[in-house]
Chain A
Amino acid sequence: MLRSWWKILAFILLMYTCTMGFLVEIPKLDDRLQHSIRNMFFHVPMWFGMMILYIISVVYAIKYLKKPDPLYDSKSLEFARTGTIFGILGLITGAIWANYQWGQPWSGDPKQNGSLIAILIYLAYFVLRGSMNDDDKKARLGAVYNIFAFFMLFPTIWILPRLTESLHPGGQGSEGNPGINGGDLAPSMRIVFWPAVIGWTLLGVWMTTLRIRLRTLQNKLING
């Protein structure tokens, strides 16, 4: 029970997000976004979650290259998998929002294109792994490719979308972060936004640990 405190924390944070996310006071400004700005608590945390899960994945990939422990490989693979699921959910929820905010689900916005490319690069990681039968080779090449895929996140979602005009906040001509502009976010929304990010990410971590444990059990069954 003590060791799973963070699972309880995830539940509490997400319950807070899913209630306060609908109740919290939102700023009116020019009222173009209306209540759809509440997507900040659901759509944006998917991307934060994806990035955090990909960071954990690349850390385990590097660890595997230093010391070839199959557990590191399992962790690296499963964190990348959950990260990709979060990314795909981010794309879909973004398209739903964009349909009503920008008039069409896909406007070829630099941020949309960039994140799609980043996710496709990660999908190739699973294809690459699936194409090999030898477990050591699979793990080693997978780890190397994982590092490449991670560093492709820098241009595709962190640099290029900021250099061109974008429908997202933070493109060319506006200051700051393409996803959110820390100081710009209303204080009332900030107290829901960050718990939402942590809550959704912890949910992703929980899902990942289940898959890692299942994989370890599977390996035991096959080898022992």
Chain B
Amino acid sequence: MDKLKKIAGVIALCILTMTANAQETELGDVMTSNGKIYVVMAVVVTIVIGLFLYLLSLDKKISKMEKKS
């Protein structure tokens, strides 16, 4: 669980820095270019990463149960 919390923390930090810089920096320019398609990309990537983290935690939980039984 601790590992997961660390990973979640890192992701939260990434998102925070992204939003903090979004207005002025180059990243903000990229995100608002091309009909803002990159915003959708960021959303989709976040969802897929989230799903994978969820699957990983399930996998670990089941592995633990397998070892016990």
Contacts and interface: CB of A to CB of B under 8 A. Distances in A.
Interface of A: 4, 7, 11, 14-15, 18-19, 22-23, 35, 203, 206-207, 210, 213-214, 217, 220-221
A213 B40 contact: no
A19 B58 contact: no
27 contacts: A4-B59, A7-B59, A11-B52, A14-B52, A15-B45, A15-B48, A18-B41, A18-B44, A18-B45, A18-B48, A19-B45, A22-B38, A22-B40, A22-B44, A23-B41, A35-B37, A207-B55, A210-B55, A210-B58, A210-B62, A213-B66, A214-B62, A217-B65, A217-B66, A217-B69, A220-B69, A221-B69
Contacts, number: 38
A212 to B, nearest CB: 10
Contacts of B45: 15, 18-19
A19 B69 contact: no
A206 B40 contact: no
Contact of A210 (B44, B59, B69): B59
A220 B44 CA distance: 38
Nearest to B69: A220
Interface residues of B, number: 16
Contacts of B62: 210, 213-214, 217
Given A214-B62, A217-B62, A22 B69 contact: no
Given A22-B37, A213-B62, A217-B69, 10 more contacts: A11-B52, A14-B48, A18-B44, A18-B48, A22-B40, A22-B41, A203-B55, A206-B55, A207-B55, A210-B55
B43 to A, nearest CB: 10
A213 B65 CA distance: 10
B57 to A, nearest CB: 11
Interface of B: 37-38, 40-41, 44-45, 48-49, 52, 55, 58-59, 62, 65-66, 69
Contacts of B44: 18, 22
Contacts of A35: 37
Nearest to A4: B59
A14 B15 CA distance: 20
Contacts of B38: 22
A82 to B, nearest CB: 12
Contacts of A15: 45, 48-49
A85 B29 CA distance: 38
Contacts of A22: 37-38, 40-41, 44
